[in-house]
Structure 1
Amino acid sequence: MKRLSFFVLSIVFGTLGLSFVSWSCNKKETNTIVSRELSSKKTYLYEDVPFDSTKVASFFVKYPKLLTFQKSIVALYKNRQYHYAWFDKKGVNEAAEMLYNKMSTVQEEGIQKNFPYKTDLDVIFQNSKTYLSPNLDAELLLSSLYFFYAKNVLTGVDEEATKKIGWYLPRKKLSYVSYLDSIIAKPELLAKDDKVVLGQYYKLKEILKKYRLSEQKGGWNPIRVAPDFKSIKPGDSSQTVSDIRTRLFATNDIASDNKSKVYDTDLVKGVVKYKKRNGFKEDEVITQKHIDEMNVPVGERIKTIIVNMERCRWISEEFLQDSEYIVVNIPSFKLTYVKNNRPEFKCNVVVGAMMTKTVIFSGKMSYIVFSPYWNLPTSIINKDVKPGMKKNKNYLVQHNMEWNNGNVRQKPGPNNSLGRVKFIFPNSNNIYLHDTPSKSLFNEESRAFSHGCIRVGKPKELAYAILKDDKNWPTDKIDAAMNKTVETTYSLKRKIPVIIGYFTAWVDDEGTINFYKDIYERDNRLSSILVEEE
């Protein structure tokens, strides 16, 4: 498969703002990245000088705070037959220097903690002439630093911790023992390797620099409003308008700040741009909710960026390989179908409400059901249907329902709760994509209303896109299948990956940061975990 381009993911989650109606809505594969494009014969930069393997244990007695890396280090040097990794015939090698420099600026990665023996590392690089020949303590310190970097920058918090906060997308399974060969052969990978870390991570990192610089300069001042404030429309004039102009200039939503108090054409463009990248309807009227969003301090935006950088660390490399997939970013209420590494189709979606959250996971779309039945869950039968039948003997007929093997199902039709089509990717959560007769909800800014499944704003168009190259399913046949009184199931010739993700900050392909509401209140929980680990 072709590797998923960074360009596509930027568009996907950017326009998802990536960003993943019924009670029926409700692999642990180990992928290993090994050394890339290296000779099949192992070579070592200091291959003539193996060291005494028995001395590894005594190193950890001297440096007990590094014990967590002992298992990895033993595996590393067994793999290298106890040859040095960080020294060549000129002394400390380029990869070691780049790793040291990288960790000296680790805060740029959204990481607050430091290597516990940084002073000892400083000695190595400040007295480089002392280390022209291999030194075992220096060697093992550098390997410990490498695994410290791998854990914190490349991997992120433990998988069990992410499951506790509702993240069930497959986590990265990267062999850092093998990956070190790639680092030594190509040290610049330490600066950027979007085959290992989602490319979006590096864009967020650049935005983090800008927002921290803004914070150092004092951030932005709160926008003041009058006690009787209701809204601002084009042409209005007030000090609040001037404050908004200054605020939007600080985040590059407008090119200049002329301090004008008049809500003019230039400011209108800036307001619309601001609304677009913050998940609001793109109209010209400014209300209190927009002011409140603008008043979110820069420090809070920095926290949001950092937690989304952390989420980027978790993305499995298998998601960097597919050229065709469907992705939903829950906070942005958007779906994008990508084909041949290009966005083929996009639309709004409705996701699970707070009490019936849509699960963050992935699956493979296997079939499409046209004119589906809706099999009612037992809870609804007991709560609504049976009481309704007691009051009205025609209850089932009036709701287009029928008994089916002791259960109740709603028959196909325009008022069926699943609409006229559903898209199935088998999973234990019983979540799928489907149509709905409740079309008005797609016009809402916040679209968290379902019982867990994902309602698609343009289901017919999605079916057209998926079956575009299938000669057996021209558009007229799709239309007919969606308007029958009997269910039709079609198994796809190719299974399509479906990714349901959760990103509250995403940088689009133009380099613009987009923020979305943390509708399931996950950001603060993740931020707390990151602080605890530090």
Structure 2
Amino acid sequence: MKNAYLLSTLLFFLFSCKKTDQNSADLILGKATINAFFKANPESKKIEKEVESFYQNRNFEYAWFTKNGMTQAVSNFQNQLQNYSFAFNDKTFKDEQLDTLISNVKSNYEESKIDVKQRENLELQLTTTFFKYSEKAFAGIKKTPRQLDWFIPRSKKNFQATLESLILKDENDSIYQPVNIYYSKLVEKLILYREIKKKGGFPIIKTDKKALSITQSDPCLIQVKQHLFLSEDLKSNDKTMLFTESLKAAVSNFQQRLGLPETGILDTKTIIEMNKSVDFRIKQMLVNLERLRWVPVEVESDYLLVNIPEYKLHVFKDKKIFWETNVVVGKEANETAIFKGKISRIMLNPYWNIPNSIINKEILPAIKKDKNYLSKNNMEVVSYKGEPMKESSINWNEYTKNVPFIIRQKPGNDNALGEMKFLFPNNFSIYLHDTPSKELFDRNKRDFSHGCIRVENPKKLMLYLLENDKTWTQEKLDEVLKTDTETGISVKPNMPVYIAYFTAWVDHKGNLNFRNDIYNLDDKLAKEIFAD
């Protein structure tokens, strides 16, 4: 995040040191003109300060005009506002007076009639509107993400650098926006869904069949094909009632995007997802666009990303997906926290120090029912100094919670952490780890843990994290894993890991994905976004 902010700041100073156009040399705004404008058109102190600072940094030169007239930036900005208004269904910046003023000033220049006051007013209106637009479009809601269970550091935006970039663009250049690339990709899909809504939305699919597959016929397939054609899963719509090979491929693609089993069979679960309205999907995208405003504009080249509702861990190398694996995350009562960390250590054959919450709810009641519970489950009791304690010396009936010692599970085949765990210091006691319960990865919905993240292919992850450490060969690692000796390995450099929560996103193949809101965090955020 710091690197992205430094980059945008550097761009800003580079732009501010460069003349926008030699023809603008005589077009200067006085500070008194800016003060008079805000006296007549008061704004928040933050916006007024942004505008004044912007002009100070460019020696009060005009931004939107040269001596020859308005620059291309005016049209570019108008298009930007129109696109935003349509995508987000937000009329905040639909200003007929501003559009009229732009038209009048443009006409005056064409007729060589220059009204200085009108030009000054338009210059400052455009700049003020830009900063207000940027705050709303890119900064996000004022409530802190931490209040919404999001502990990844929020991206800091430099809107002055963004405006300088806009001013220097010509008609064919893409406009820089201070957002993550995934934000821009999701906005494109949002516009597609706005178009679908204009056409009447998705058709309702009704059938009494529990499943439909290749070569079968049913009247509902007309609506199914229409839906999949609108959502771009089906390339051409034959409008027949026959389940064709192309429909099977389209259904399979839809299922993949929705996190359903990719059978290519139209079953009940698939129809339920298809029957979620276009308004529901648009709202889902808007909620996740808000989250993406909080994400750093630029992230590290190499990092790990766990998307909780997707039940997936993605490994990024050189800013591209390198590989991915299934994960098990916390159940609703034990939510996996959303935050950023850095993997610094791998523990092979780890002990599992059982958290107090699990001791209180599960271990203590089990011990009171069966005095041999600990030995049966390969567990032991040690002091906080790590000294072994005799279970027979403990009166378990004295404790209902918060025991004054550690209960841990020893390394072995039944250890809940499996053969390894991946540590990244955090305040949530969350880490990645192996598991002996491999069968859970075959399930479509994988929220079963107490909060930590179980990885389907931990050995592959370990080898990736240690690929540059020549002291740890695969043979040496395998030898250690054959023992029950706990062994720690430092990960250098530390690997960034993001534990995130997205229920709508565009993947690296350009496909729009949706997932269920397993922790009801979409609803919580939607109440903040759509409060008005």
Tell me the TM-score normalized by structure 1. 0.86
| CA–CA distance in structure 2, aligned partners of residues 164 and 222 of structure 1 | 37
Residue 325 of structure 1 and its aligned partner are, at CA, apart by: 0.7
Secondary structure of 1:523's counterpart equals helix
Partner residue of 1:136 out of 120, 137, 145: 120
* Equivalent residue runs for 1:374-453 within 5 Å: 374-405=352-383, 406-453=405-452
Instruction: Name 1:473's counterpart in structure 2.
Output: 472
- Listed one character per residue, the Cα deviations across residues 312-342 of structure 1 (whole Å, up to 9, x for unaligned) are 32221341xx221111111211111122334
Task: Find out whether 1:174 has 2:157 as its counterpart.
Answer: yes
**Taking structure 1 as reference, are residues 264 and 425 closer, same or farther at Cα in structure 2, changes over 3 Å only?**
same
* Equivalent residue runs for 1:16-165 within 5 Å: 31-32=5-6, 33-36=8-11, 38=14, 41-43=17-19, 45=21, 46-64=24-42, 69-110=47-88, 112-115=90-93, 118-130=96-108, 132=114, 135-158=119-142, 160-165=143-148
- Listed one character per residue, the Cα deviations across residues 68-121 of structure 1 (whole Å, up to 9, x for unaligned) are 511212222332333322222213222233223321332244251423755135
| CA–CA distance in structure 2, aligned partners of residues 453 and 98 of structure 1 | 47
Instruction: Name 2:462's counterpart in structure 1.
Output: 463
Instruction: Name 2:186's counterpart in structure 1.
Output: 204
Structure 1 stretch displaced more, 485-494 or 49-58: 49-58
- Which amino acid is the alignment partner of residue 167 of structure 2? I
| CA–CA distance in structure 2, aligned partners of residues 117 and 262 of structure 1 | 50
* Equivalent residue runs for 1:272-283 within 5 Å: 272-283=252-263
Instruction: Name 1:225's counterpart in structure 2.
Output: 207
- Which amino acid is the alignment partner of residue 292 of structure 2? C
**Taking structure 1 as reference, are residues 35 and 392 closer, same or farther at Cα in structure 2, changes over 3 Å only?**
closer
Structure 1 stretch displaced more, 129-138 or 119-128: 129-138
**Taking structure 1 as reference, are residues 530 and 270 closer, same or farther at Cα in structure 2, changes over 3 Å only?**
same
Structure 1 stretch displaced more, 28-37 or 473-482: 28-37
| CA–CA distance in structure 1, aligned partners of residues 217 and 94 of structure 2 | 56
**Taking structure 1 as reference, are residues 326 and 180 closer, same or farther at Cα in structure 2, changes over 3 Å only?**
same
Residue 127 of structure 1 and its aligned partner are, at CA, apart by: 3.0
- Listed one character per residue, the Cα deviations across residues 214-263 of structure 1 (whole Å, up to 9, x for unaligned) are 2111122211122xx43334444322344323332332322333344343
Q: Residues 147 and 176 of structure 1 are in contact (CA less than 8 Å); yes or no, is this contact kept in structure 2?
A: yes
| CA–CA distance in structure 2, aligned partners of residues 379 and 497 of structure 1 | 28
- Listed one character per residue, the Cα deviations across residues 266-292 of structure 1 (whole Å, up to 9, x for unaligned) are 322222111111100111433322111
Residue 62 of structure 1 and its aligned partner are, at CA, apart by: 1.9
Residue 181 of structure 1 and its aligned partner are, at CA, apart by: 2.7
- Listed one character per residue, the Cα deviations across residues 378-423 of structure 1 (whole Å, up to 9, x for unaligned) are 2332333333333433222111111111211111111111111111
| CA–CA distance in structure 2, aligned partners of residues 29 and 206 of structure 1 | 26
| CA–CA distance in structure 2, aligned partners of residues 82 and 422 of structure 1 | 57
**Taking structure 1 as reference, are residues 116 and 105 closer, same or farther at Cα in structure 2, changes over 3 Å only?**
closer
Instruction: Name 1:193's counterpart in structure 2.
Output: 176
Q: Residues 418 and 437 of structure 1 are in contact (CA less than 8 Å); yes or no, is this contact kept in structure 2?
A: yes
Instruction: Name 2:345's counterpart in structure 1.
Output: 367
Instruction: Name 1:14's counterpart in structure 2.
Output: none
**Taking structure 1 as reference, are residues 523 and 381 closer, same or farther at Cα in structure 2, changes over 3 Å only?**
closer
Residue 30 of structure 1 and its aligned partner are, at CA, apart by: 9.1
Residue 462 of structure 1 and its aligned partner are, at CA, apart by: 1.1
Structure 1 stretch displaced more, 274-283 or 134-143: 134-143
| CA–CA distance in structure 2, aligned partners of residues 398 and 245 of structure 1 | 56
Instruction: Name 2:488's counterpart in structure 1.
Output: 489
- Which amino acid is the alignment partner of residue 420 of structure 1? E
Q: Residues 102 and 191 of structure 1 are in contact (CA less than 8 Å); yes or no, is this contact kept in structure 2?
A: no
Q: Which has the higher contact order (CA 8 A, sep 6+)?
A: 1
Q: Residues 359 and 500 of structure 1 are in contact (CA less than 8 Å); yes or no, is this contact kept in structure 2?
A: yes
Secondary structure of 1:83's counterpart equals coil
Instruction: Name 1:24's counterpart in structure 2.
Output: none
| CA–CA distance in structure 2, aligned partners of residues 313 and 111 of structure 1 | 18
Tell me the TM-score normalized by structure 2. 0.86
Structure 1 stretch displaced more, 357-366 or 259-268: 259-268
**Taking structure 1 as reference, are residues 498 and 509 closer, same or farther at Cα in structure 2, changes over 3 Å only?**
closer
| CA–CA distance in structure 2, aligned partners of residues 325 and 527 of structure 1 | 29
* Equivalent residue runs for 1:209-358 within 5 Å: 209-226=191-208, 229-319=209-299, 322-358=300-336
| CA–CA distance in structure 2, aligned partners of residues 235 and 65 of structure 1 | 64
Structure 1 stretch displaced more, 491-500 or 212-221: 212-221
Structure 1 stretch displaced more, 408-417 or 205-214: 205-214
Q: Residues 221 and 243 of structure 2 are in contact (CA less than 8 Å); yes or no, is this contact kept in structure 1?
A: yes
Residue 362 of structure 1 and its aligned partner are, at CA, apart by: 1.0
Residue 368 of structure 1 and its aligned partner are, at CA, apart by: 0.8
Structure 1 stretch displaced more, 70-79 or 382-391: 382-391
**Taking structure 1 as reference, are residues 189 and 168 closer, same or farther at Cα in structure 2, changes over 3 Å only?**
farther
Instruction: Name 2:390's counterpart in structure 1.
Output: none
Residue 42 of structure 1 and its aligned partner are, at CA, apart by: 4.7
Residue 67 of structure 1 and its aligned partner are, at CA, apart by: 5.4
Secondary structure of 2:493's counterpart equals strand
How many residues of Structure 1 are paired with residues of Structure 2 in the alignment? 501
- Which amino acid is the alignment partner of residue 467 of structure 2? K
Secondary structure of 2:454's counterpart equals strand
Percentage of identical aligned residues: 37
| CA–CA distance in structure 2, aligned partners of residues 220 and 381 of structure 1 | 50
**Taking structure 1 as reference, are residues 353 and 213 closer, same or farther at Cα in structure 2, changes over 3 Å only?**
same
Instruction: Name 1:521's counterpart in structure 2.
Output: 520
| CA–CA distance in structure 2, aligned partners of residues 507 and 116 of structure 1 | 28
**Taking structure 1 as reference, are residues 111 and 60 closer, same or farther at Cα in structure 2, changes over 3 Å only?**
farther
| CA–CA distance in structure 2, aligned partners of residues 362 and 188 of structure 1 | 39
